[in-house]
Amino acid sequence: MLLDERGVSTLSNLPTADFTFDPYQPGACVAGLRPYRTKSYRLDGEELGDKLVVHNYGHGGGGITLSWGCAAKVRDMVLRHRIQNETTEREVAVLGAGVMGLTAATLLLDLGLDVTIYFDRKPVETTSYKAGGQWAVSLLEYSKDFAKVQELQYILRTAYTMFKASIGKGFGVSEVDNYSVNATSGIEVVHDLVPGLLPQREYLKRLPFEGHDTSGYRYRTLLVEPPIFIPRLERDLKARGVTFVNRRFINSADVLTSLTQKTIINCTGLGAKDLWNDSDMLPLRGQLAMLRPQPNLEYLYGQNGYLFPRNDHVIIGGTVEETCDETFDPERCRELVEYMAGAFGQRPPVPMPEFHIHHPRNERLVDPRLSISL
Ligand SMILES: Cc1cc2nc3c(=O)[nH]c(=O)nc-3n(C[C@H](O)[C@H](O)[C@H](O)COP(=O)(O)OP(=O)(O)OC[C@H]3O[C@@H](n4cnc5c(N)ncnc54)[C@H](O)[C@@H]3O)c2cc1C
């Protein structure tokens, strides 16, 4: 990077978004519930009678990011169980058609298994389809137990490598700069856990944007666009013979008695709260404002909230609210846009709406140093 004699970036400003936004236009606002699990995401197997159930849910604000890595762990667990039990049956049931179910199904097919996906919501209606799509580990609890940390390192390495290998192949994945005012903990955690996986962050004495005279950081990470990625996974699975069955399960007994498959992969996200009676699951709502697509914007930006330019929209988000109400509030989305426009000097500065939430045990869940939460 070019610096002047004071060490200040000589980069000229990058383009500013057009913040024109009418929250009452159809499709202008979106809300989704992150499947947050208070102790840690769940990735383990249990034998129930003659069935193996592998759980893969509770990935909070990082499910897209971790998906391929968790899918690889699911595949390995199923393979090990098959070898140990000398199983020849090929039928597998995957519960859930979000990113966790679709990626797990993809890698199980590679074992030569016959996969059926059961879902209550089809892929384009899932939380996964609504996600922003930055490759970062946000709003995710994980166990600090040594073996679990090693597992997460494997997941991150595998997921990043697979996403990176799919750039330019129609999966909606690209490598992007992310500028942020404060250190972005969702990316910092990757640097801490797997040093060298992502390019090093760069400290900038001034962020190269209109309205900014503050220092910040430039990260290099991936953007995974769910409106491209999720339908692509679904198409590929169907082309490889996977059947999708619309079926809502009421509880674990319903799953175990009604399915004939002896291997069941539980990727039901927030649904696992009721389905598997998991009281550690907590819905964290995120609201997004969807602005018109702006191909001249080629960077992600974060300052409490975030701005992600994608092919379908420029999205502005970052709110975190503990509620099971999945509806959006147009006025809240308008505030999000006003806030972001203020950060770029396009409007008078206003505070970020409803960013911080509190854990039921009254601990602050969102680190106050966070610049981005997803
Ligand atoms: C606003 C927002 C922004 C986000 N941004 C990012 C981001 O930038 N990066 C990132 O990595 N992550 C992000 N996330 C998080 C990410 O979306 C989730 O972690 C991820 O989508 C979880 O995937 P999943 O497959 O577990 O769940 P889901 O996508 O919710 O899929 C669950 C599936 O299980 C099915 N199911 C549930 N219960 C039942 C039942 N009883 N019977 C039958 N089927 C059932 C559902 O119908 C659905 O098909 C964001 C989330 C939100 C809300």
Closest of 325, 313, 312, 318 to residue 288, by C-alpha: 318
The DSSP bridge partners found for residue 305 are 303
Site to probe by mutation for ligand 1, drawn from 74, 106, 126 as the one with most ligand atoms within 8 Å of Cβ, is 126
**What is the tally of helices (H) and strands (E) in the chain?**
9, 15
Tell whether the torsion through CA atoms of 274, 80, 240 and 64 is positive or negative.
Answer: positive
358 C-beta closer than 6 A to ligand 1: no
Tokens representing residue 59 in the block: 């990935």
Domains of the chain listed by start with CATH number:
29-343 (3.40.50.720)
* Residue 243 burial class via C-beta count within 10 angstroms: exposed 0-12, middle 13-18, buried 19 and up: exposed
Note the pLDDT of residue 10. Answer: 52
Note the pLDDT of residue 354. Answer: 57
Note the pLDDT of residue 371. Answer: 34
Note the pLDDT of residue 303. Answer: 84
Note the pLDDT of residue 372. Answer: 35
Ligand 1 centre and the CA of 123: distance in Å?
10
Whether the Cβ atoms of residue 264 and residue 95 lie closer than 8 Å to each other: yes
Protein residue with its CA nearest to atom 39 in ligand 1: 271
310 C-beta closer than 6 A to ligand 1: no
Note the pLDDT of residue 374. Answer: 36
Separation CA 253–CA 250 (nearest Å) = 8
Q: Which residues contact 70 (CB under 8 A, 6 or more apart)?
A: 41, 43, 56, 59, 100, 103, 104, 155, 159
Site to probe by mutation for ligand 1, drawn from 40, 134, 268 as the one with most ligand atoms within 8 Å of Cβ, is 268
Q: Is 27 left (phi over 0), alpha (psi -120 to 50) or beta?
A: left
Note the pLDDT of residue 350. Answer: 83
> What's the pLDDT tens digit per position in 131-180?
999 999 999 999 999 999 999 999 999 999 999 999 999 999 999 999 99
Ligand 1 centre and the CA of 55: distance in Å?
14
User: pLDDT below 50 — which residues of the chain?
Assistant: 1, 6, 8, 356-374
Note the pLDDT of residue 3. Answer: 52
317 C-beta closer than 6 A to ligand 1: yes
Task: Provide the pairing of β-strand 299-303 with 305-309.
Answer: antiparallel
121 C-beta closer than 6 A to ligand 1: yes
367 C-beta closer than 6 A to ligand 1: no
**Polymer length in residues for the chain:** 374
